[in-house]
Amino acid sequence: MIDIRQKLDEIGPFVPGADDGLLVCRCEEVTKGEIRRAVHEGIFTIEEMRRYLRNGMGLCQGQTCSRLVKSIMAAELKEAPDYVEPASARAPMRPIEMEILGKDQGGKHE
Amino acid sequence: MNKTADVIIIGGGIVGCAAAYYLAKSGTKNVIVLESTKSIGHGGSCRNGGGVRQSGRDVRELPYAMYGIEHLWPTLSEELGVDVEYTQKGNLRLGKTEAHLKKLQTLADNAKKVGLGVEMVDAKEVQEICPYLSKEIIGASWCPTDGHANPLTTTLGYYKRSLELGVSYYTDAKVASLKKIRGKVRQVILIDGTVFEGEQVILAAGYESRAIARTVGVDLPMTRLIDEMFVTEMQPHMFDIMLGTAAADFYGHQAHHGSFVFGSECGYEEVTDMDDPSKLYTNSMTLSASCRAVMDYVPCLKDAKVVRSWCGWLDNAFDGVPFIGPCLDAEGLIVACGFTGHGFGTAPAVGLMLSQMVHGEKTVVDLSALAPNRFMPNK
């Protein structure tokens, strides 16, 4: 069980950093500062963070940034990197045109 | 750790978070929300198509669907301090056959009886409203006051704002049972044995609500049904309306940042075989079937690339509308579940009404048709 308020008290307030402008998710242009700040708003999991800021939701689906996001979040939460669980990978593993995907397993478009 | 509160809310989805927000806003700040997984909005709240619609709904749901669209959605982004991307540009429900049009006409007639502005439009008008659609479409129903929003930021927006207002949230806090004290539901017991106690308990845990309610002798007749969605890469801005079809082949819209989000099915959803429902595996047939369904109505999207697909479980109520209200057989317990795959758009109104129920006030619309004890033997 995680007591969100207690955890927020433990990690203290958001403190701006010199490298907050660093682009972490290049597809969706999410910065380190935005990710750090969101943790202090109660966003503690990668699943929530993706939905809140769109990091890892673009063309590469987090294949470039997800480990970076994980370590930034863990540092902000004052935890080891393993504390933050990785995001689920979902089909398709590479972006595919609807016309191509629609040919899979029959249908009149085949 | 604070384990007692005025209100304990079971379920950190959009309904639970919205109820917590409206309670805190009205002065009841000693509220605890218990979420069984590690993420707020892990269930259907963040796995839906974002429809904020009135058309196509059961007439029992329409009054509060309309209330939310008139009074709550327009100012929600400002209220929560998060962009919920509410877009009120209308909903077209498309038909390709005479049978489709007949079905749409019946839905429109029923909705009009309770005061909703929904009209039938012909093929030419469909093209005027949205020139990107297939010429095979012969007509549609058109509800200009329908729309869509971003379910992800809406759910987390309610969470964030209620947290700021003083609500306590616990994640990874799975509820095992409820317990009555002197005849009144007061205790909420987690699987690890932790006991929370509240003056009132709101149960908004989707399908899982059924097993929890059972522990105090309340049955909420619903089943679990899988639903899948997919999202494309960003596209140039095309249209702002919400799309659906009479045949329920697919539904969806273009999100603010350019992606198209669509939901569809392969036809085998009712016999889904997943050893562990929490794994949320998608069906290998659904994504291709979904692409075919969308291309049949929006052919110009054939070159749009799909970047992700996902699924979620619906809490499918026996008669297709949710259970909302106090449980007469279990004083102190208020339920809000069984939303049957269309609970997102109504969640703000439901959250507001849950706070009114806690305060013993009259709800903004009458909910007696959705009472959890509405089921009587029919044979």
Distance from CA of A47 to the nearest CA of B (A): 7
Q: Determine the pLDDT at residue B248.
A: 92
Q: Determine the pLDDT at residue A108.
A: 56
pTM above 0.95, yes or no: yes
Residue B227 has pLDDT above 70, yes or no: yes
**What is the percent of chain B where pLDDT is above 70?**
100
Q: Determine the pLDDT at residue A105.
A: 77
CATH top-level class of B4-49+152-220+319-375: alpha beta
Residue B257 has pLDDT above 80, yes or no: yes
Using the Cβ of A48 and the Cβ atoms of chain B, whether some distance falls under 8 Å is answered with yes
Q: Which of A27, A98, A103, A110 to mutate to test the interface with B (most CBs of B within 10 A)?
A: A98
pLDDT digits (tens, 9 = 90+) for B258-277: 999 999 999 999 999 999 99
Strand-pair partners of B197: B4, B187
pLDDT digits (tens, 9 = 90+) for B285-339: 999 999 999 999 999 999 999 999 999 999 999 999 999 999 998 999 999 999 9
Residue B26 has pLDDT above 50, yes or no: yes
Residue B190 has pLDDT above 90, yes or no: yes
Please state, in angstroms and rounded to a whole number, the distance separating the CA atoms of residues B159 and B169: 9
Strand-pair partners of A44: none
Q: Which of B169, B233, B309 to mutate to test the interface with A (most CBs of A within 10 A)?
A: B169
CB A56 within 8 A of CB A65: yes
Please state, in angstroms and rounded to a whole number, the distance separating the CA atoms of residues B78 and A20: 26
Which two tokens mark B133? 């659609």
Domain boundaries, chain B: 4-49+152-220+319-375, 89-148+223-317
Residue A109 has pLDDT above 50, yes or no: no
**What is the percent of chain A where pLDDT is above 70?**
95
Residue B354 has pLDDT above 60, yes or no: yes
DSSP-derived 3-state class of residue B151? helix
Task: Give A 50-109 residues with CB within 8 A of chain B.
Answer: 51-52, 54, 57-59, 61, 85, 88, 90-92, 95-99, 101-105, 107-109
CATH 1.10.10.1100 fits A4-104, yes or no: yes
Provide the Cα torsion B161, B162, B165, B166; round to 10°: -140
Residue B97 has pLDDT above 90, yes or no: yes
Q: Determine the pLDDT at residue B114.
A: 87
Please state, in angstroms and rounded to a whole number, the distance separating the CA atoms of residues B347 and B18: 7
Residue A107 has pLDDT above 60, yes or no: no
Residue B369 has pLDDT above 60, yes or no: yes
DSSP H or E run through A101: helix A98-101
Residue A55 has pLDDT above 90, yes or no: yes
DSSP-derived 3-state class of residue B370? helix
Strand-pair partners of B86: none
Cis check for the bond before A92: say yes or no (omega within 30 of 0).
Answer: yes
Query: CA nearest B290: which of B235, B250, B247, B347?
Result: B250
* Residues in chain B within 8 Å Cβ distance of A97: 302-306
The number of C-alpha atoms within 13 Å of B347 and in the hemisphere containing its C-beta is: 37
Contact A48 B41 (CB under 8 A): yes
Contact B46 A107 (CB under 8 A): no
Residue A92 has pLDDT above 80, yes or no: yes
DSSP state of B71: I
Which two tokens mark B118? 């929904």
Task: Tell me the helices (H) and strands (E) count for chain B, helix number first.
Answer: 9, 18
Q: Determine the pLDDT at residue A106.
A: 63
Please count the other Cβ atoms lying within 10 Å of the Cβ belonging to residue B243. 26
Using the Cβ of B41 and the Cβ atoms of chain A, whether some distance falls under 8 Å is answered with yes
Angle separating helix axes A46-53 and A32-40, nearest 10 degrees: 120
Please count the other Cβ atoms lying within 10 Å of the Cβ belonging to residue A97. 17
- What's the average model confidence in pLDDT over A36-40? 98
Per CATH, the number for B89-148+223-317 is 3.30.9.10
Please state, in angstroms and rounded to a whole number, the distance separating the CA atoms of residues B286 and B224: 18
Q: Where are the alpha helices (DSSP H) in chain B?
A: 14-25, 62-67, 76-80, 98-113, 123-129, 151-164, 209-214, 286-297, 347-358
Q: Determine the pLDDT at residue B1.
A: 83
Using the Cβ of B301 and the Cβ atoms of chain A, whether some distance falls under 8 Å is answered with yes
What b/e readout covers B32-59, taking b as 16+ CB neighbours within 10 angstroms?
A: bbbbbbbbbbbbbbbbbbbbbbbbbbbe
Please state, in angstroms and rounded to a whole number, the distance separating the CA atoms of residues B168 and B154: 19
Please state, in angstroms and rounded to a whole number, the distance separating the CA atoms of residues B303 and A91: 17
Contact B302 A52 (CB under 8 A): no
Please state, in angstroms and rounded to a whole number, the distance separating the CA atoms of residues A92 and A95: 6
Domain boundaries, chain A: 4-104
Distance from CA of B342 to the nearest CA of A (A): 20
DSSP-derived 3-state class of residue B79? helix
- What's the average model confidence in pLDDT over B188-208? 98
Q: Determine the pLDDT at residue A110.
A: 43
| DSSP assignment of A14-81 | ----TTTT-EEETTTTEEHHHHHHHHHTT--SHHHHHHHH-TT-STTTTTTTHHHHHHHHHHHTTS-G
| Mean pLDDT across chain B | 97
